Amino acid sequence: MDFVTFLQNRKEMYRLLVANRERLAPWFWWAARDVTPNKYRFYRFIVAYWADTKFERLLHRFDPTSKYSEQFIVYNDCNHIGGFCGLDDIDITKHRAEVWGLAFRGNTETAAALKMLEDYCVNNLKLDSFYGCVQSTNRASNLFWEKYGYDKKELHRHVKVSRRNPKYADICIYTKQFSK
């Protein structure tokens, strides 16, 4: 997702947040009403996040061992936004990345987005593995990762949900090795 893509899709992105806020907020801290209560705060959050990840990418160009992130807008068959996802902590030295945001309306769309991300990681980034972090109480997401061939590798107790969020939770880590 680049800045122009965000500008072109910002209203639809906010509409999707509002429509799915109650479902997303327990798991995505930025979806909470107190963090993004209106479209302007949502836009400001997205721009700050986008700028932060672009800075990471710039650092990565100067130091290829530094980690970086990428975001994606996924369109459905009708060319409407189906959801958002991304890769965090892309690590070319360990050949792995963390996937986030696979929170589409149904498992079919979610599985298709996951497959696209896997293919992108193998073909474009030359990564060997992928991992997803899920709060241990998010039953649906835990079942999803297991259904699509990810192994539950670790359970981390009382970890910070994100760099910007002071909330702590137990996190399950699901990993998949790619075959080449």
Q: Is 33:25 a contact under the CB 8 Å cutoff? A: yes
Q: 27 in helix, strand or coil?
A: coil
Residues 54, 13: Cα–Cα separation, whole Å? 20
- Tens of each residue's pLDDT in the chain, 180 residues: 778 888 888 998 899 889 888 888 887 888 899 999 999 999 999 899 889 989 999 999 999 999 999 988 888 777 778 778 889 899 999 999 998 876 555 667 778 888 888 999 999 999 999 898 888 888 888 888 888 889 988 899 988 877 666 778 898 999 999 876
- Chain centre to alpha carbon of residue 163: 14
Residues 66, 18: Cα–Cα separation, whole Å? 35
SS3 track for 107-170:
HHHHHHHHHHHHHHHHHCCCCCEEEEEEECCCHHHHHHHHHCCCEEEEEEEEEECCCCCCCEEE
pTM above 0.85, yes or no: no
Beta strands 68-75; 96-100: pairing state: unpaired
**What local confidence, expressed as pLDDT, does residue 72 receive?**
86
Which domains are delineated in the chain?
A: 3-177 (3.40.630.30)
